[in-house]
Chain A
Amino acid sequence: EAQVTQNPRYLITVTGKKLTVTCSQNMNHEYMSWYRQDPGLGLRQIYYSMNVEVTDKGDVPEGYKVSRKEKRNFPLILESPSPNQTSLYFCASSGSGRKQFFGPGTRLTVL
């Protein structure tokens, strides 16, 4: 089944404790992206990647890192999480068209 998977789905952590949210797609898509969704603000793009080893900042990249060592994986790294990074995070991928396929989301709470 074609899908985008994210792990974990839920995470509660404390300020400053490094964490990684994994994202994997099995559709051989070149484009992958991370978004955060906050009430009233819609989807805001954090980082995106056009292909392996090619990443670029989105609209809200501060406090986040990403890597794209393999085509299928695009992890999101928070080196030192802060409470303002509490949010619902989505990974998405896209192939030759622009239609994006979304993962199920990761709800992160930073205390």
Chain B
Amino acid sequence: SQELEQSPQSLIVQEGKNLTINCTSSKTLYGLYWYKQKYGEGLIFLMMLQKGGEEKSHEKITAKLDEKKQQSSLHITASQPSHAGIYLCGADNIGSNYQLIWGAGTKLIIKP
């Protein structure tokens, strides 16, 4: 079965610094989703990637899917306190029409 591994599990970054979170799959990714969760709250959709080499940006957040479609990265430039939270990657479960499989999440703390 397909598994998603996120790294790091947690990250403490000084405000203003850049950071990267990774999501690695044991199998080819056909749809990769990034979500952000503020502590104890719901998940907010950030971006979806489907094609090898695809890159999308929204404000200071950039997500990429590698050419082999087995790894995605989420890069935050000039981090701000509003970026703090838990970032989760989800991927299409090939054996199901609608189900997603999920990484365990990366907890991001921004130090002022």
Give the CA-CA distance A71 to B28 in the complex, in Å: 33
* A13-21, A61-69, A72-80, A95-103: which lies at the interface: A95-103
Residues of chain A within 8 A (CB-CB) of B35 are 102
- Shortest distance from the beta carbon of A41 to any chain B beta carbon, whole Å: 7
Using CB atoms, name the residue of chain B closest to A105.
B42
Using CB atoms, name the residue of chain B closest to A93.
B98
Residues of chain A within 8 A (CB-CB) of B42 are 90, 102-105
Asked if A31 contacts B98 (CB within 8 A), the reply is: yes
Interface residues of B (CB under 8 A from A): 31, 33, 35, 40-45, 48, 88, 90, 92, 97-100, 102-105
Given contacts A33-B98, A90-B42, 17 further A-B contacts (CB under 8 A): A40-B104, A42-B103, A42-B104, A48-B99, A58-B99, A98-B92, A98-B100, A99-B48, A100-B90, A100-B100, A102-B35, A102-B42, A102-B44, A104-B41, A104-B42, A105-B41, A107-B40
